[in-house]
A and B are shown apart, each in its own frame.
Chain A
């Protein structure tokens, strides 16, 4: 592949949430941070496990595992800082990840229709990796938590 062609191939950040390897478009990822102090306080927003302070900015920590795996992530040392783009706001959030992250270039193939939060699929060395639609993955997690929550439960 020529350098010119390679620059046209989209790149993705592959990371692990719990036991599942997934990917996000490179453009959605800001940085990877290690061992930040997690600050917690009472709230009622599903998926948020706390906030971290990053260069004087408050970054909420959002666990994607409930939507992807049906259970919360194990304790994490690494956090992938991503840019959320909703209809009403954009904001940086940190996603707890397990293990190393990879930056890969590849062509995304159509995803499984059953996984509505999957935009497509990458094939890397015979491994199939789902590329997430971040907002849909968050919505799936929120729904999972709300469905399994007793009324008026508070998250910390």
Chain B
């Protein structure tokens, strides 16, 4: 009972944290939410992922999109063109994942992402 209250508060805070990352960096937020639920709040990996998917169903980024749009930081044409490919690609990727060792793929991708991050930081401060 008392503990339930504590868990709820922790979960709400996890949501706020990943929401800030979402609005700041233009991402969905699952990247942050899943590790917080799993590593800090003790959810199993599957349960953390399933729960994160619930949180990503409502358009949680709406208030952020409105602010970006007001500043003219939304390319509607690009955005609408990306959606069909993303949807179809997601289905294809899901099927592909059953044939390919996904854990190793993730590590390869994580390494690439890390390098891309270094490059991005460099290019930002080179002027």
Whether chains A and B associate is no
